[in-house]
Chain A
């Protein structure tokens, strides 16, 4: 199971001369297991598409190497890499019908016409495009083109399937439906797939592991659960999760058996020394300047001892309440699943449990501890 399908070794991408041009991808190393679905997640311009295009062979690898199925493909022509790709801009062949677009690559294999037809009909049923197979790309909608393009990639037998924003144009219901079907399709055939997306829901739903990229640097490459529970740095912590993690600057001090977190605006939290392990206390105290992060879902309102804050906004989103409260010169967002009956200006008390805190080094952004566990 842990056989490596694709491996990137110290890959760099410069647009322009090496060392001077735009450094789009910085020293990225990743291993993708066979049969794994990996999402490259990041904001626009973070290098995720550049990475994908280097794997496909449309962009030259400036430095480093890419191994696919035990071959070094970093200098191979795209045609020789045995990779399939669905493009963000669909890129269907205009003079061909949807059916021909999908079956196009299969025709140069030694599959019989019957096999090809069977595959095309299977994939078009899955993607709900069976009724437009005989139409031309120019006469169908963006969403349909996107599915046709996805079908053209998935129908192929390739060592690797690359999907660039594969569902961006689909309407929400269809997207949710297809996500499940596509994941099933990929898993059933044991395909290895990399998808590029900026949609966290999509990444979480489809991928076994998510690679978070920012500024050309691979920030973290882990399962969705680990990304949520143990973000390795401040960036992944605040980037992954919706609504985003609350983050506040704090100074750590210890006195008389309590650990004190001093926030801005004279706000502070005191914890018994036993709340954190000795290692965490030591790590926090040695740095003194830290960032404290807490997920909106982990913030609780309380009637007992807690910090007094004032509600600024209370939004009911139909299935959950987002309450923003003034906290340490900023806003602390908390999420409740029932309709919260609080009004702006009202005072509430909130509680931050030690186990829900994510502690980061302020200078480097590296994680120090997640709850009561020291970050590795």
Chain B
């Protein structure tokens, strides 16, 4: 056992606390903001003492924002649904395509396989805007602009490489002989893929899926350029709170709280897998 002195322990605790405060403070502040009105948020100097109100959440959920100037329609719930739908569908499509592809890249070295895998990864290198503007033009011509299908397709730029590279690492970790042992016992390679490779790589696939979900959920720029209001996810939808009559900080904060809640819950729940998936992907990739 490694011995750590009490002093070292205390110093470590202090350092950890500082780091946690540094990262958690914005979230905490936003959480507090979401229960305040614009007036209390904007007062100088700011204070943590206020009378909590649920009007922000109320406005988001009912879709009606009453301000002193006018009443405003907001589609926050619609946006939330879009976020869920787009992320889930994108991850599902990416899994369907990416997991078999990852298996192929891990197991079968064919001519150009490394090049193809790298090309897929390189989608992550390109600045999204560079790709998006021409893509928007094409999408308009072929009628994919402002459609869920179009968005899900573009979201593959985020999800597919992620799933491919992480899951590939997991497949490579499985000894091919385990699969051979199964195949030689009279099973086709497809049965082997389903019964041996998939279950053994299960945790990795789950981690990759979760990561891809979080990345898709947090995406902003694709939907901003390619979708109109009724197809936009929450990340873009939050822009609607910047109105002509002022910025609705309270609603934005409440919207953020609602939109990070699902991913935060997922991340906390699957923390172990996520760390594993990320570090494995980093080592192997």
Contacts and interface: CB of A to CB of B under 8 A. Distances in A.
Contacts of A80: 186
12 contacts: A56-B184, A58-B176, A58-B180, A79-B184, A79-B188, A84-B185, A88-B177, A89-B177, A91-B175, A92-B181, A93-B178, A94-B200
Contacts of B196: 93
A156 B185 contact: yes
Contact of B177 (A77, A91, A108): A91
B184 A83 contact: yes
Interface in B144-203: 175-178, 180-189, 196, 199-200
Nearest to B188: A79
Interface in A50-107: 56-58, 77-85, 87-89, 91-95, 104-105
Contacts of B187: 79
B182 A108 contact: no
Contacts, number: 56
B180 A108 contact: no
Between B176, B180, B182, B186, the greatest number of chain A beta carbons within 10 A of the residue's beta carbon is seen for: B186
Interface string A194-221: 0000000000000000000000000000
Contact of B199 (A88, A95, A105): A95
A152 interface: yes
B181 A87 contact: yes
Interface residues of A, number: 26
Interface of A: 56-58, 77-85, 87-89, 91-95, 104-105, 108, 149, 152, 156
Contacts of A79: 183-188
Contacts of B178: 91-94
B274 to A, nearest CB: 22
A91 B189 contact: no
Contacts of A78: 180, 183-184
Between A79, A92, A105, A108, the greatest number of chain B beta carbons within 10 A of the residue's beta carbon is seen for: A79
A58 B178 CA distance: 12
B114 to A, nearest CB: 15
A82 B186 CA distance: 7
A121 B187 CA distance: 24
B184 A91 contact: no
B184 A57 contact: yes
B130 to A, nearest CB: 38
Contact of B181 (A81, A91, A108): A91
A252 B175 CA distance: 55
Contacts of A93: 178, 181-182, 196
A56 B183 CA distance: 10
A104 B180 contact: no
B180 A87 contact: yes
Given A56-B180, A80-B186, A91-B178, 7 more contacts: A89-B177, A91-B175, A91-B177, A92-B178, A94-B178, A95-B200, A105-B186
B180 A85 contact: yes
A250 to B, nearest CB: 47
Contacts of A84: 184-185
A42 to B, nearest CB: 20
Nearest to A109: B186
Between B181, B185, B200, the greatest number of chain A beta carbons within 10 A of the residue's beta carbon is seen for: B181
B188 A77 contact: yes
Contacts of A156: 185
Given A93-B196, A94-B200, A95-B199, A81 B184 contact: yes
Contacts of A94: 178, 200
A138 to B, nearest CB: 12
A149 B182 CA distance: 12
Contacts of A56: 180, 184
Contacts of B199: 95
List the 3 closest pairs (A to B, CB-CB), nearest first: A91-B177, A105-B185, A91-B178
Nearest to A80: B186
A89 B175 contact: yes
B177 A87 contact: yes
Contacts of B200: 94-95
A57 B184 CA distance: 8
Contacts of A104: 185
Between A105, A108, A156, the greatest number of chain B beta carbons within 10 A of the residue's beta carbon is seen for: A105
Contacts of B189: 77
A85 B186 contact: no
Interface in B181-231: 181-189, 196, 199-200
A104 B181 CA distance: 11
A105 B195 CA distance: 14
Contacts of A83: 184
Contacts of B177: 87-89, 91
A335 B189 CA distance: 53
Contacts of A149: 181
A92 B182 CA distance: 9
Nearest to A149: B181
Nearest to B185: A105
A87 B182 CA distance: 11
A85 B181 contact: yes
Nearest to B111: A17
B185 A108 contact: yes
A10 to B, nearest CB: 24
A93 B198 CA distance: 13
A251 B199 CA distance: 66
B109 to A, nearest CB: 10
Contacts of B186: 79-80, 82, 105, 108
A80 B185 CA distance: 9
A78 B176 CA distance: 14
A69 to B, nearest CB: 15
Nearest to A17: B111
A89 B181 CA distance: 11
